[in-house]
């Protein structure tokens, strides 16, 4: 039974005892190998209400008027009081359970386990993953019919497991806005099914080990901000959010800087007072701390950056694509397409996770990564259709693959724009002269 105590809560002096954030609870598990869990039987109902406050809990039913002698659900201070009890009385768990006459539900208590279910997650020494029982619920989700049903989903609770969550969910959250007609189209259905798929195949996130070696990858777009927290090449958490109305007018530079600030704020408990590296694909952010001509917004953000011991590094936008292609190319099922021929023994993995061949990034044959790089170097908005030699001279400083110079020459030779516009650098052909037609006798 749950009573509507909203009017009583308005008059109640608030208990400011801090409630822990779920991420903070997970952080306390770092380094643990064995886990135990105790669940109090009807926990709230084991706490007595003060005698002077019992009349305040009165409620009326068709069977008569009643008062709560134990703490009911719905009181504004109930969570804080219960959390205070947990922190004060559970230091010596088993002894104090007997002394305070608190009775645990044995079927929900687990001791000395390698793996335990905790707050909708499964925790073990390898990290955190989504509870399989919740995945079954996700698989049975039906298409939402109202904005309320969209808000009631479990997806937001597990957003730390989903990369670019806000970008994927944009089509759905738009329907929850005021004065927005609820029209469920193909775009919403595609986003809904993609979220279900990602939740059912969510990765295992590692628990942080100590307070060092944190790396943050940030990115921004016209749809939202996204970032990834990693430690020793292991993903700790994903975070993302959609752009606010006024942020849609920001320049690309401010959006990228806003993504960095967003990451520092949301993971402050990890990154404050420790050395960390932040990677971004916006090159000018490397020098943001040295710039003098800043607007007021940028000055506020730079002031926040100065509170952290962080180094902002530039990572090319294609780096993540290349990294995924490298990993897929080295899978045994793709060896025939790649034809390594002992190449994997000559590759060196560096701190950014990419494989290098003599200080140059190895670009595999798998996928269309080479074509993407050639397109970027030859016919992007910042290129002017360079020739084969000039293009090779530029790319060889960063990338390498077998037969690279030959491939570049063939690519440039097939460019229709170059064939139509560029002048020929060879001796011009002579004028065509029509041969005389012989006269038949």
pLDDT of residue 339 exceeding 60, the answer is: no
Sign of CA dihedral 80, 84, 90, 91: positive
Confidence of residue 301 (pLDDT cuts 50, 70, 90): very high
Lowest mean pLDDT among 45-54, 189-198, 338-347: 338-347
CA 107 – CA 109 distance, rounded (Å): 6
**Residue-wise pLDDT tens digits, 244-300:** 989 989 998 999 999 999 999 999 888 988 899 999 888 888 888 888 888 899 999
Cβ atoms 225, 241 nearer than 8 A: yes
Predicted confidence (pLDDT) at residue 392 exceeds the cutoff of 70 = yes
**What is d(CA 227, CA 244) in angstroms, rounded to the nearest whole number?**
17
How confident is the model over 222-239, as a mean pLDDT? Answer: 86
How far is 389 from 391, CA to CA, in rounded Å?
5
Q: Does residue 334 register a pLDDT over 70?
A: no
Helix (H) / strand (E) containing 242: strand 234-242
pLDDT of residue 300: 92
> Which residues neighbour 375 within 8 Å (Cβ) at sequence distance 6 or greater?
none
Q: Is the pLDDT of residue 115 over 60?
A: yes
More confident residue, 93 or 122: 122
Q: Give 185-203 as a DSSP string.
A: -HHHHHHHHHHHHHHHTPP
Query: Is residue 5 within 8 Å of residue 75, measured between CB atoms?
Result: yes
Residues of the chain above pLDDT 90, percent: 11
Contact 202, 162 (CB under 8 A): yes
Average pLDDT, the chain: 82
| Cβ 395 vs Cβ 373: under 8 Å | yes
pLDDT at 120: 80
CA quadruple 409, 411, 414, 420: dihedral sign? negative
Instruction: Return the pLDDT at 290.
Output: 86
Per-residue pLDDT averaged across 24-42, rounded?
Answer: 77
**357-377: average pLDDT:** 83
Question: pLDDT at residue 352 above 80?
Answer: no
pLDDT of residue 262: 94
pLDDT at 89: 60
* Residue 421 vs residue 392, higher pLDDT: 392
What CATH number does domain 214-314 carry, 3.40.605.10, 3.30.428.10, 3.40.50.300, 3.30.420.10? 3.30.420.10
Candidate CATH numbers 1.10.3470, 3.30.70, 2.30.30, 2.60.40; the one for domain 127-200? 3.30.70
Q: What is the per-residue pLDDT for 256? A: 92
Query: Mean pLDDT, to the nearest integer, of 120-135?
Result: 83
23 pLDDT above the threshold of 70? yes
Higher pLDDT, 332 or 179: 179
Instruction: Please state the domain extents for the chain.
Output: 13-23+35-112, 127-200, 214-314, 329-421
Higher pLDDT, 91 or 205: 205
pLDDT of residue 255: 92
Q: Which of 150-159, 217-226, 321-330 has the highest mean pLDDT?
A: 217-226
Mean pLDDT of the region 32-40: 77
Q: Is the dihedral of CA 316, 307, 213, 268 positive or negative?
A: negative
Say if CB 216 and CB 312 are below 8 A apart.
Answer: no
- Where does the pLDDT of residue 341 fall: very low under 50, low under 70, confident under 90, or very high at 90 and above? low
Name the architecture of domain 329-421. Answer: Orthogonal Bundle (1.10)
Q: What mean pLDDT comes out for the span 307-311?
A: 90
Q: What is the pLDDT of residue 254?
A: 92
| Residue 164 near residue 239, CB atoms below 8 Å | no
DSSP state, residue 243: P
Contact between 347 and 355 (Cβ < 8 Å): yes
């Amino acid at each position: 039974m749950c009573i509507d105590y909203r009017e009583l809560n308005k008059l109640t002096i608030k208990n400011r005892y801090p409630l822990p954030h779920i991420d903070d609870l997970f952080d306390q598990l770092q380094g643990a190998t064995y886990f135990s869990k105790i669940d109090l039987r009807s926990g709230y109902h084991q706490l007595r209400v003060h005698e002077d406050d019992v009349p305040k809990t009165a409620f009326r039913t068709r069977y008569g008027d009643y008062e709560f002698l134990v703490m009911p659900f719905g009181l504004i201070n109930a969570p804080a009081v219960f959390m205070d009890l947990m922190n004060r009385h559970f230091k010596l768990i088993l002894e104090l359970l007997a002394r305070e006459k608190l009775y645990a539900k044995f079927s929900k208590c687990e001791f000395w386990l390698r793996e335990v279910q905790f707050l909708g997650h499964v925790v073990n020494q390898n990290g955190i993953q989504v509870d399989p029982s919740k995945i079954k619920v996700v698989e049975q989700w039906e298409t939402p019919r109202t904005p309320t049903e969209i808000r009631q989903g479990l997806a937001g609770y597990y957003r730390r497991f989903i990369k670019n969550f806000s970008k994927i969910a944009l089509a759905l959250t738009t329907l929850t806005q005021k004065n927005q007609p609820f029209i469920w189209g193909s775009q919403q259905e595609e986003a809904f099914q993609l979220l279900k798929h990602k939740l059912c195949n969510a990765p295992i996130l590692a628990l942080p080990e100590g307070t060092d070696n944190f790396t943050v990858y940030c990115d921004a777009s016209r749809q939202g901000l996204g970032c990834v927290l990693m430690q020793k090449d292991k993903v700790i958490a994903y975070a993302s959010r959609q752009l606010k109305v006024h942020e849609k007018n920001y320049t690309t530079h401010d959006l990228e800087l806003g993504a960095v600030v967003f990451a520092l704020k949301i993971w402050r408990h990890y990154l404050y007072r420790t050395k960390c590296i932040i990677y971004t694909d916006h090159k000018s952010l490397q020098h943001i701390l040295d710039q003098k001509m800043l607007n007021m917004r940028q000055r506020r953000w730079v002031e926040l950056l100065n509170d952290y011991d962080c180094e902002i590094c530039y990572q090319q936008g294609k780096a993540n694509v290349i990294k995924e292609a490298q990993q897929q190319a080295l899978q045994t099922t793709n060896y025939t397409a790649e034809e390594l021929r002992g190449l994997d023994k000559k590759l060196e993995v560096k701190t950014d996770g990419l494989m290098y061949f003599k200080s140059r990034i190895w670009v595999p044959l798998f996928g269309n990564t080479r074509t993407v790089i050639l397109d970027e170097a030859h016919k992007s908005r910042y290129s002017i259709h360079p020739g084969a030699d000039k293009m090779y001279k530029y790319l060889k400083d960063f990338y390498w693959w077998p037969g690279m110079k030959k491939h570049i020459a063939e690519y440039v030779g097939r460019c229709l724009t170059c064939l139509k516009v560029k002048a020929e650098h060879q001796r011009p052909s002579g004028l065509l002269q029509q041969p005389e037609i012989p006269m038949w006798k």
